[in-house]
Amino acid sequence: MKALSFSLLLGTLLLTGCREQAGVASVPVTTQASTVAAVAQASPAPVPDAAGGIAAATPLDEQRARTESEANTVDVVKRSQDGLVFIDTTIAAKQNDAQRQALERFGFSVPPQEPGEGMGSGFFVTPSGDILTNYHVVEDASEISVRVHGQTQAFPAKVVSTAPDFDLALIRAEGLPPSAIRPLPLGDMSQLDVGLKAIALGAPFGLDFSVSEGIISSLERTAPVGVREVEQSVIQTDAAINPGNSGGPLLNSAGQVIGVNTQILTGGVGQSAGVGFAIPVSTVQSLLPKLQQGGEVKTPSLGISLVDLSRISPEQRRGLGFPETGLMVGQVFDASPAQAAGLSAGTPLVSADGQSLPPRDADIITAVDGQMLEDREDLRRALLARSFGDTIRLTVQRAGKTREVTAVLEEFEFPR
């Protein structure tokens, strides 16, 4: 589980005798004696049995004792648990920078780190056995095995495709009986409301096939998602999500998948603090056809490096005639969509004392398709929602003059 650290400001609650203050109503104090009397009045009198003793309390009927909400949760879990998958991974040891430098400089190798182990969750999304999980669950895994509910046998699995920028991956088990494949239905994002029930299935701390319940806390939240940690829309829930829940489904009261559990906010202890995030089912539905094609689902790029204008002092911005907000083009890579669109990083300037200055003629992107850009995250989000072959309209300022630039998004690999 990838955790976001969240710093809590803890207040001290001082409990004292209450007295009336300005604007604060006094709280009546109930004594022990009055409490006992009230309980005695509210409690039904014991019923003597035939022998004159006190009869035992009549146990409540189990079905009647269950609330409607509890009965619904039990039903959802029973119908959905066979669609849940427990994932074990082995992470191959990697040669780090220090090890490579030792080999290059001194001709000897440092013993590599021991292989690591990971765990996570997933769920069936197709009758053919495709399993959806988080990309970070299977990232760098040399071996993957899965288990389904009610079985102890583990089956080897392989990655079918990945969407690193969305933290999603599709895997498939080998040798799994078709009878064990129980795909979970996908829900409708438009039918969700804050306050509706949310049920998280997964394997927190390796406790496989566990259930937690809460509500949808927010549908207006964003969080950094994927390898580039681009701010994306997420579902916030207070259902307990912990390490090992990653990739598991978040369900509604109809047993439909409404999200893929992916992150938590913590107080620095690496476990649930009541704030968890799930990738919305709408993202899953848009990416699933691409994932089923195999390979890596890549996202478009303009092929440029950018400088946020907030990093330039207000005095410099005014002196150079730059706008208050926008993204200055720092470099345009060869054969990129940005180069084809005619974007330029301008001519570097150097001050009298030898310091580098922002070029006056550098292009500054201020909007994408009419949407103003506050920072580079805005541009990343705009590109993330596009596909290869799409055309975008950039509002660009150069040397105080504004113009519209059209760029066609194509696949581009940055040089290494």
Q: Does residue 226 contact residue 167 with C-beta atoms inside 8 Å? A: yes
Instruction: Please confirm, yes or no, whether 208 is among the known catalytic residues.
Output: no
Q: Does residue 79 contact residue 132 with C-beta atoms inside 8 Å? A: no
Instruction: Please confirm, yes or no, whether 82 is among the known catalytic residues.
Output: no
Of 158, 201, 150, 207, residue with least CA distance to 179: 150
CB atoms within 10 A of CB 18: 12
Helix residue ranges per DSSP H, 228-384:
281-291, 314-320, 337-340, 376-384
Task: Give 223's contacts (C-beta < 8 A, 6+ positions apart).
Answer: 4, 231, 232, 234, 263, 277
Q: Does residue 156 contact residue 89 with C-beta atoms inside 8 Å? A: no
- The single-letter DSSP state of residue 48 is B
Q: Does residue 244 contact residue 206 with C-beta atoms inside 8 Å? A: yes
In this structure, which long-range contacts are made by residues 4-11, counting pairs with CB atoms below 8 Å and at least 24 apart in sequence?
A: 4/223, 4/224, 4/263, 4/264, 4/265, 4/266, 5/265, 5/266, 5/268, 6/265, 6/266, 6/267, 6/268, 6/273, 6/275, 7/267, 7/268, 8/267, 8/273
- Among 82, 121, 136, 212, the one annotated catalytic: 136
Please report where in the chains the tokens 């730059």 appear, as a residue: 322
Rounded-to-10 torsion of CA 204, 209, 215, 221: 50
Instruction: Please confirm, yes or no, whether 167 is among the known catalytic residues.
Output: yes
Q: Does residue 216 contact residue 194 with C-beta atoms inside 8 Å? A: yes
- Among 88, 130, 167, 363, the one annotated catalytic: 167
Alpha carbon of residue 335 to chain centroid? 33
Query: In angstroms, rounded to a whole number, what is the distance separating the alpha carbons of residues 232 and 277?
Result: 11
Of 383, 399, 400, 402, residue with least CA distance to 338: 383
Bridge partner residues of 163 (DSSP): 168
- Among 246, 272, 282, 336, the one annotated catalytic: 246
Query: In angstroms, rounded to a whole number, what is the distance separating the alpha carbons of residues 333 and 325?
Result: 23
Report the catalytic residues: 136, 167, 246
